[in-house]
Structure formats: C-alpha cells, structure tokens
Chains A and B, each alone.
Chain A
Amino acid sequence: MISSGKAISGKVIGGGFWARLARRMLVVLVMAMVALAGPLWEAGPCHALSPDEQLKDAALEARARELSAELRCLVCQNQSIDDSDAPLAKDLRHLVRERLVAGDSNTEVMNFLVQRYGDFVLLKPPFGWHTWLLWLAPALLLIATIAFVVRAMWSQPGAAAASRSQLSKEEEERLAQVLKAAPDEVT
C-alpha cells in the first residue's frame, strides 16, 4: 500500500477531472459501439477428442494436448479443438499430431497453423501491432487506476488534517492508552 502521510477523502478529485473522465468514457463507448456493428461466426455442436485419435507416444501426445488447448475450433464459439466435435476440429487434431510425428517443434506446428488459418486459430493471440493494446490493457488500466488514486490523495486539501503527523509524540502515546483502555470501540 501507499505509505505517504497524505490521506484520501471522499472528494477524490475536483469536478473538472470527473467531467473529463466521463467525457473520455463517452468517446470510448461510442467507439466500442461503432465497432460492435456486425454479426460474426456460427456456433457448432461440440464434443471432444476420442481414443482412436491419440498417439501411442505419450510424450508426443502430451505435447499435442498442450497445443490443442491453445488452438481454436474455427467453426465454434471460443472453444479449443480438444473440446470440439466439429469435423474441422478433428482434422486439426490430426494435423497437429501429424506435424508432431514428422518431428516439428511446438512453435513450428503453431506457425504452420497460423500460416494456414491466420491468427484466428490461436486462442491466445500473439503480441503484435494489432494486439499490443489487448495485452497491455490490464497493466495500463492498473497503472492508470493507481495513479488516479495516488493523485487524488495528493491533491486533497484537507488531507493533512487526518494524518498521523498532526499529533505530537505525547499525544500519540495518550491516544494509544485511551484506545487500549477501550478496545471494543476501535473496530
């Protein structure tokens, strides 16, 4: 936590700041809505990997499973090829195992599939010019929120009133004694 002597109050920040924040949110909202305009993909009936598809080599099979969990069944809604019964998912499971048996590394298999189907096939999108905002969003949001709270604390005019430094050493001790005498009231 933040250890400055300043305090936060309900008046987190002046009205101008909130107004700006709200205006920014409005802009984001409009942009999001414009982007949301079109219907997308078809859902597929889904059910999973069956025993006859599995590889004899346990190590290779484990790698295949690991990769499958990050590959999207292209005709389903956000489902990995492992969970899907769609014929395409089955083909992809085959393909992954074929490449592994042929001696491809995990990265090579993934690259091969991305070349064929595009980034859409990856449930974990790669970091790139079109996804940096997605990947950095959580960190940026966290930093922005913390910065916002810290700023609110520093810009608080009455903040010093509540801070510890207002009391002298003697007063602190007396306060501690009083609190000790009636601990029930503290919580």
Chain B
Amino acid sequence: MIIEFGHFALVLAVLVAAFQTVVPAYGVYRNDARLMEFGRSAAISQFFLILISFVALMYAYIVSDFSVANVVENSHSTKPLIYRIAGVWGNHEGSMLLWVLIVALFGAAVALFGNNLPKTLQSHVLSVQGAIGLAFVLFIIFTSNPFERIDPAPFDGRGLNPILQDPALAFHPPFLYVGYVGFSMAFSFAIAALIEGRIDAAWARWVRPWTLAAWMFLTVGIAMGSWWAYYELGWGGWWFWDPVENASFMPWLAGTALLHSALVMEKREALKVWTILLAILTFSLSLMGAFLVRSGVLTSVHAFAVDPKRGVVILAIMFAFIGGALALFAMRAGELRQGGIFAPISREGGLVLNNILLTVACATVLVGTLYPLALEGMTGDKISVGAPFFNMTFVPLMLPLLLALPFGPFLAWKRGDLLGAAQRLSIAAVVAIVVIVATAAWVQRGPWLAPFAIGLGVFVMMGAVWEIAFRAKAGSVPWGEVVRRARNLPRSVWGTMLAHFGVGLAVIGIAATSAYRVETIVAMKPGDHVETAGYVLTFKESSKGHGPNYQEDIVTLEVTRDGKLVTMLTPSKRLYDAPPMPTTEAGILASWRGDLYAVVGDVQQAGGFAFRIYFNPLVRFIWIGAVIMFIGGGVSLSDRRLRVGAPVRSKRRRTVAA
C-alpha cells in the first residue's frame, strides 16, 4: 500500500511539474500575479510529492519488502540498516528518484527563499526548474520505475554489490547529486535571464551562493568517491581518470570557473554573457555525466546496469535542454546589457585567466573522455585514452593556474598593480623556493616536476594566508589590532582564503603521492618480514573471521619502526554471501607523513600470501584539502553580504536548504 502511495505521489508530481512549467511562464506573459504565484505553490508541492515517493521507496528498503522488484534486485535482509537505506540510491531507479528529489528541492528553495527576486525572474526560474523535474520524473515513470511489484515475492533479495557497502560510499551519491543537480539552479537562472533579456548584479547575488553550495557538495562528493576508491578497491590509487570520474570532474571544473566569473558579475557587472554561457555549460556537463553513467555507453565500476532504451531517452532529454538552451543563448545573448570595464591586469583580469584555464582544462577532459567514443563511432578505430594522456595535458594547464592563483586576491578591481602584488607575495615565493630546493635535495628521485608542484602548493597556501595577514596589516600595527582587523574581515575573504588553502594542500598531496609513492610486492609466509619506507612489517598470523554477511581471511601484520612497535595492521580478503563476491580490505596506517597501505593477495603455491605494500606520502592532504575547500565554501556562504537585499528573511539563516 505504501509503495502504491509512493508511486501515486510520483505520478501526481508529473502533473504538478507540468503545471509548474507552464503556468508561471504564462503568468509572466499575461502579467498575472496570481498565475506567477501559482509557480511557488507548485514548486513546493512538487518537492513534497517527490519526497513522499522517495520515503515510500526508502520504507520498502528498510522493511525489506521483497514484493518490490527494485528492492529484490538491490537489497538483502541480512544487510545492515545503513546499507539498506543507502541501497535506495545504490541503483539506477532509486538514484534517479534522488536526482529529481534534489531538482525539486532546489525549486522549492527558489519558491521559499526567493521572494526578494523580481517576480518575473522567480517565475521563469520556477518554470525552467519545473521543466527539468518534469523531464526526469517522466523518464523515471516510463523507463525506470522503482515501484514495480513482483509476484510471487521471492524469499530474499539479491543484495547490494559488496564493494558498495561502505560508509563513505553510502553518502557519496547524495553529496554528488546535490552538486550535480544543484547546478540546475544556475542553469534555470541563466535561461530565465535569457528569456527576460536582462541580467544584473542581483541575479549574480542569488546565483552565486547556490552555485557555491552545489560546488561545495560536489567537491566533497568527489573527494569521498576518491577516498573510497583509495581504501576499498585495494590498489592504492585515488584517481584513475576513469570516464565516470571524469563525468563528475567536468562539472566541478566548469562550476569552479562559474563561481569565479559570477563573482566578477556580482561585483562589477562584467562578463555577463560569459557567465550565462558558463552556467548553461556547467549543468549541461552534469546532464552529460548522467547520460554517460546510465546509458551503457561506458561501463565501469561506477556505472549502473545497462539499458539502451534509457540511454536514448536521456540523450533526448539532454539534447532538448542543452540544444534549447544554446539556441536561446544564440538568439538572446546579444541583447544583454553590458557593464563594467577593466584593464587586463586587475582582479577581473585574474579571474578571466582563471576562467580561461579552467574551461580549457575542462574541455581537455571532455575531449579525452569522448574522443575514443567519437572515433569509434565515425571510423571504427578503437583507441584508449587513459591516465598518461590526462596527466600530460591536464597538469600543464593547472600549473600556470596555481602559479597565478595567489596573485588574484592581491590585485585591485578594475586596474591592479602586478608588481605590488608580486612584492607582497615575495615571502611566500621565497618559502616556496626553499621548499622546492629542500624537496629536490631530500628525495633525489622521482620526476623533476614534482618538487615544483609541491612548491606551487606551498605558494598557494602561503599566498592565501598572506592575503589575510596583509588585510589585517600584520607587521605594521600592534598584534591586538591585527587580530581585531582579521576578525572584522568579511567572511567571504576568510572563505576564499580557506578554499585556496585547501587547493594548495590538495596539490601538495597529489604531487607527493604521485611522485614519491613506494611500492613493494612480496610473497610472505608467517614469520617473514619485509622492510619499506622505514617500516618493518612482519607477517604474524592469518585467521578466519566473519561479519554479518561475509566470511573473511584476516592477516595480522606487525608494524615496527626503529625497533619499536607502531601498530598491527589487519588487511583481509572477504567473500560476501549475497551476491557472492570477493573483495579486499586494505590495512592502512595513516600518519601525517603518509599512509602505509597493505593489501593481501592470493594464496601462494609455496604457502603464505602475496602482499602488496605501499607507502603513499602525504596522501591524506588530498582529502583534507577537499574538506577545507568545503569549509571555506561554508564560511563564505555565511557572509552577511550574500543576504543583503533580503532583510526580511534575516531570521531564516538557512542559505543551504540541503
């Protein structure tokens, strides 16, 4: 009954979404305030209807209702509660439902918090958001219905892929989707601006925080996915340039560019047309990500079950939205009134450079991801584009970006002083150079570029800290005054500082672990030991164990350093019951220096096991960096300035409704 109720709510949501698409836009056309107002109610009702439907599906998972086909295929009664819940979005149908739920959530947010927006703009935005919701809810109902019943109901389900039964992965999709789908907000605003033929700073003031929120969640979502791949897949890597990873990375790159160009638009009313285009492209890349993952064009660890019919429908949706948006853009972009003029060396100029490099990097990833498909489609030739290609093309684009990054905040709007900025950054630069020389002298191996990349990371971090110090006049006024000034700096300045600091930290982690990773592959019997990266690992014993839904071989490794016991690592090999599938659990000793990472391989003919042991220096910096970026985004969101113009709403401090 609850299942049918959920299904019914979803069908109702189609109708509501259809009304939401048509009525407010018609209201603007007729200049009828009541019709425009209807859009708000529709958006809120649509959200609740989809929420009901989502909760109904979640209920089926929690109580293990095996009369629902979707639950049978993806759940199992012995699965722990958290993974039964996560199972809702661990499959194609359920994750689509989560997708539309978030579309509707953002629509409802515009309806609830967007009353300070011009009424026509709000109505158009709701219309577009409604159209996106409509397309995807229809897609769910006609091609991927999660509420289908099965008769007779089987005794138990088939279970969730065990490598997906993991806390980080349980919450990876919701974060990722809030990010992906959050960009729909920027898209809807862009379309609305094009329809109206005008756009101003108020537009950016609204779009920027929502884009920032989406970006924050996408950042953490991607980081979680990479962290999971790192400790769960058991080969010690954290990024594979897998097409599906690229599909989430491209919106992130474009979204990062969008955040920066929207800043220029908000502050200086410049780059309007470009910001609109970027908003369209960012969400288009999100749609393309959905297509790549779900259509069966690509298969990978991340991809959902393949069904060509779905692929065609998503392709059609994607074509309609991207094509429609670009066509509208071609017609109307010329009519947008333009603003602020600036010199090449200025804050704006710096942000233009940021946009150039980020968009080209994004386009490079796009070309690398789609080229093999396009080539095969056109000539039948099969080629592979893997990590070596991306490292050779993407990295050179990032280096100048990182080098230029610290200069940006030191340049004034309109016309900046590059020499002055360079002087202010001189100490940061000196420290970075010292780090480069020290790294090169200390490690004496690995690629020559690595010390420079680490130095760049240090430069970015120092530059971020320096900006705060400079603004607080550290060194020229008494210490107490510095603290007072630093405290009084706008939150957005602190947010920028933290986000950039996080970028620098992540860069150091990426460079260090890519260049200086130590790998040892050995066969060991109990009693044997191996030495790596200053640690001695001794194979103590192996034993059998079992969890709620798996059996495992656990190996105990004693780790010593300079003769002193550091820890015991217990990597294991698991065999899950449902579905039957072997996995490996890595034993990881995390420290600031880096991670000691041990994986057990096959049983050897001569007795004992094969081991792969890695030392990944500074690898944690990557994820800590991402978390700091997330916090930076949050701090910036809490800035008072973002709420200026909405004094009535000041009691509701929720900028992120998610």
Contact = CB atoms under 8 A, between A and B. Distances in A.
B243 interface: yes
A142 B397 CA distance: 9
Given A120-B383, A124-B386, A39 B296 contact: yes
A40 B234 contact: no
Interface in B328-345: 329-331, 333-335, 338-345
Contact of A77 (B233, B242, B392, B397): B242
Contact of A138 (B322, B327, B393, B611): B393
A42 B299 contact: yes
Interface string A149-164: 1000100101101111
B141 interface: no
Interface stretch (B117-125, B372-380, B534-542, B626-634): B372-380
Nearest to B378: A35
A120 B396 CA distance: 25
A142 B396 CA distance: 11
Contacts of A22: 277, 326-327, 329-330, 333
Contact of A1 (B297, B318, B344): B344
Interface stretch (B12-20, B146-154, B264-272, B549-557): B264-272
B465 interface: no
A12 B243 contact: no
Contacts of A41: 299
Contacts of B521: 49-51, 54
Contacts of A39: 295-297, 299, 306, 308, 311
Contact of B297 (A36, A42, A48, A162): A36
Contacts of A19: 330-331, 333-334
Given A23-B330, A47-B584, A130 B379 contact: yes
B386 A123 contact: yes
A123 B363 CA distance: 19
A47 B352 contact: no
A134 B326 contact: no
A4 to B, nearest CB: 7
Nearest to B246: A78
A39 B305 CA distance: 12
B388 A1 contact: no
A34 interface: yes
Contacts of B242: 77-78
Contact of B300 (A18, A36, A78): A78
Contacts of A145: 356, 359-360
Given A36-B297, A79-B240, A162-B342, A47 B235 contact: yes
A14 B541 CA distance: 73
A33 B319 contact: yes
Contacts of A12: 271, 273-274
A40 B380 CA distance: 12
A34 B356 contact: no
B398 to A, nearest CB: 12
B326 A25 contact: yes
B386 A78 contact: yes
A118 B383 CA distance: 8
A9 interface: yes
Interface stretch (B53-61, B99-107, B410-418, B641-649): B410-418
Contacts of A158: 341
A162 B521 CA distance: 63
Contacts of B352: 8, 149
Interface centre among A1, A137, A163 (most CB of B within 10 A): A1
B375 A130 contact: yes
Contacts of B418: 1
Q: How large is the interface on B (under 10, 10 to 19, 20 to 34, 35 or more residues)?
A: 35 or more
A110 B385 CA distance: 16
Interface string A59-87: 00000000001101000011110010000
B515 interface: no
B604 interface: yes
Nearest to A20: B330
B300 A10 contact: no
Given A7-B342, A29-B323, A78-B386, A52 B604 contact: yes
B449 interface: no
Interface string A9-33: 1111011101100110110010111
Interface in B499-521: 521
A101 interface: no
Given A10-B273, A36-B373, A118 B382 contact: yes
A43 B303 CA distance: 10
A72 B273 contact: no
A187 B267 CA distance: 12
B35 interface: no
Contacts of A142: 356, 360, 397
B371 A34 contact: no
Contacts of B386: 70, 72, 78, 80, 123-124
A168 interface: no
Interface in B215-237: 233-235, 237
A115 interface: no
Given A26-B323, A141-B364, A123 B387 contact: yes
B434 interface: no
Interface of B: 233-235, 237, 240-243, 265, 268-274, 277, 291, 295-301, 303, 306, 308, 311, 315, 318-319, 322-323, 326-327, 329-331, 333-335, 338-345, 348-349, 352-353, 356, 359-360, 363-364, 367-368, 370-371, 373-379, 381-389, 392-393, 396-397, 412, 414-415, 418, 471, 521-523, 584, 601-602, 604-605, 610-612
Given A47-B601, A48-B235, A119-B381, 9 more contacts: A22-B277, A32-B374, A36-B291, A36-B370, A77-B242, A78-B300, A124-B392, A145-B359, A159-B341
What are the 5 closest A-B residue pairs judged by CB atoms, nearest first?
Answer: A15-B334, A123-B386, A11-B338, A10-B270, A35-B377
28 contacts: A1-B345, A9-B340, A10-B271, A22-B327, A22-B330, A26-B326, A33-B315, A33-B318, A33-B319, A35-B370, A35-B374, A36-B291, A39-B299, A40-B373, A46-B233, A52-B604, A52-B610, A77-B299, A78-B300, A79-B240, A83-B237, A119-B381, A131-B383, A138-B367, A142-B397, A145-B356, A149-B352, A162-B414
